[in-house]
Structure 1
Amino acid sequence: MPHSAMRSTFERIVINQFTPLHCAQAREMLGWSLDYLSEQSGVSVPAIERFEAQAPVRDVTRLALAYSLEAQGLVFFPGFSPGRGGNIRGTTPDPMGREDFALIE
């Protein structure tokens, strides 16, 4: 599978399985404030608040949030609370390489 197709597949998986509840639960697990998650992810506090309130956000915004939380060893599966993944980093590709990265909210 070509690299871009693989990246797109992984991105679609993350976009469909990383939920607003995951985000809030992960912040709580890590003891992170909205401001700290904003610093770590590059996503604005208002966008994080909208996402956690289940309002729509751009795909690149969702990926940036998942990427920053997975970097802390968390993994996300539909229907389950975030878990610790040991030394693995999730499958979320670094959103910085996306063409729409400048549109991050």
Structure 2
Amino acid sequence: MASLAMNHILERIALFQFTPTHCVQARAMLGWSVEQLSREAQVPVEDIQRFEAQQEVADAARLAVAYRFEALGLVFFPGFRPGRSASLNEVKPESAARGDFAMAD
């Protein structure tokens, strides 16, 4: 079981890695509207709209959205589009040619 300090560090990492651009791109990947993401993450529509507009939003709302996407297997790294997680055993050589790993705009 992780300590409170470790949980805080993990939350800081998640907040750093998950950007407003990632949110828009992840919704597009899933075909979700802001309203659907709001229901799925249990975050007000207005918070999601503010976050995607690069305005201030409570860390708790950002984490709820990021964790909801991560629960569906999406991963986020600064400067890259969201990708789908896979174990090393599942990665196939042709996956590099797909475009899942393109740089974010």
**What is the TM-score normalised by the length of structure 2?**
0.78
Higher relative CO (CA 8 A, sep ≥ 6), structure 1 or 2? 1
Query: What is the CA RMSD across the aligned residues, in angstroms?
Result: 1.5
Q: Which residue of 1 aligns with 2:71?
A: 71
1:21 aligns with 2:21: yes
CA distance in 2, matches of 1:86, 1:36: 25
Gaps of 5+ in 2: 88-105
Give structure 1 stretches of 5+ with no counterpart.
88-105
CA distance in 1, matches of 2:3, 2:83: 28
Superposed displacement of residue 22, structure 1: 0.3
Structure showing greater radius of gyration is: 2
Query: Which SS does the other structure have where 2:50 is aligned?
Result: helix
User: Sequence identity, in percent?
Assistant: 57
Q: What is the TM-score with the length of structure 1 in the denominator? A: 0.78
Q: Kindly report which structure 2 residues correspond to 1:7-86, keeping only aligned pairs within 5 A, or say none.
A: 7-86=7-86
Q: Aligned pair count?
A: 87
